């Protein structure tokens, strides 16, 4: 068991590299210091729990799927959509199998099952987690657009168009109708800006 926990510890160090791994597609929009994969994964997990709750699915399961959805990028890097045109896409399940090799069987099987479920996109929770991934990208694009990166609009439009669930679509429409700091104005009791 000690050797197996050693492998778990190795993976925990490896997972930490996602805090420094940048989401590369944003460079094409001119963003100099884009969000990390870890930052993206955190908000994706939060959104997955929200969407799943609204859709009547298991919120904890959807969030769990979202936590692991980009964990393979410790080994593959974040390859943006243009890059995928020129490189063979890594098999997420194969990368996960390699990452978890040597871990205790109960953990290895659980992580591999989570990644397989997300990749299959057949369960309600997987659909919600995938919508969360797209909605997070749209939301990040809106934030970057608000910071003056007009090129982020492409990500906003493409992500919005790919949403599947009714809840994610309605949330997207609400986000599109707001400014990034409207929440702060409301929290401070300020009058909303006139439109």
How far is CA 66 from each of CA 26, 49, 132, 178, 183, rounded to the nearest angstrom? 20, 9, 8, 25, 25
Residue 151: the pLDDT is 96
Whether 133 maps to a domain, the answer reads: yes
Whether 84 maps to a domain, the answer reads: yes
Residue 121: the pLDDT is 98
Which CATH number fits the domain that encloses residue 47? Answer: 1.10.3210.10
Whether 194 maps to a domain, the answer reads: no
pTM: 0.93
Whether 61 maps to a domain, the answer reads: yes
The mean pLDDT of 131-157, rounded to a whole number, is 97
Residue 84: the pLDDT is 78
Residue 82: the pLDDT is 81
Whether 55 maps to a domain, the answer reads: yes
Domain count, the chain: 1
Range of the domain at 41: 2-187
Whether 192 maps to a domain, the answer reads: no
Residue 195: the pLDDT is 54
CA dist 99 and 10 (Å) reads 9
Q: What is the mean pLDDT of the chain?
A: 94
CB 152 within 8 A of CB 146: no
CA dist 134 and 146 (Å) reads 18
Whether 53 maps to a domain, the answer reads: yes
Residue 194: the pLDDT is 59
Whether 193 maps to a domain, the answer reads: no
CA dist 97 and 191 (Å) reads 53
């Amino acid at each position: 068991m000690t050797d197996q926990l050693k492998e778990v510890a190795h993976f925990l160090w490896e997972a930490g590299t996602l805090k420094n791994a940048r989401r590369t597609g944003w460079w094409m929009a001119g963003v100099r210091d884009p969000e990390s994969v870890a930052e993206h994964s955190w908000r994706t997990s939060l959104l997955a729990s929200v969407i799943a709750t609204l859709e009547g699915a298991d919120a904890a399961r959807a969030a769990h799927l979202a936590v692991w959805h980009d964990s393979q990028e410790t080994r593959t890097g974040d390859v943006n959509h243009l890059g995928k045109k020129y490189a063979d896409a890594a098999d997420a399940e194969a990368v996960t199998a390699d990452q978890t090799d040597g871990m205790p069987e109960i953990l290895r099987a659980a992580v591999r099952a989570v990644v397989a479920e997300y990749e299959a996109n057949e369960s309600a929770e997987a659909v919600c987690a995938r919508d969360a991934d797209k909605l997070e990208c749209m939301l990040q694009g809106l934030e970057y657009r608000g910071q003056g990166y007009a090129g982020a609009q492409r990500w906003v439009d493409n992500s919005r168009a790919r949403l599947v669930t009714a809840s994610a679509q309605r949330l997207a429409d609400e986000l599109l109708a707001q400014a990034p700091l409207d929440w702060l104005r409301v929290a401070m009791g300020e009058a909303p800006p006139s439109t």
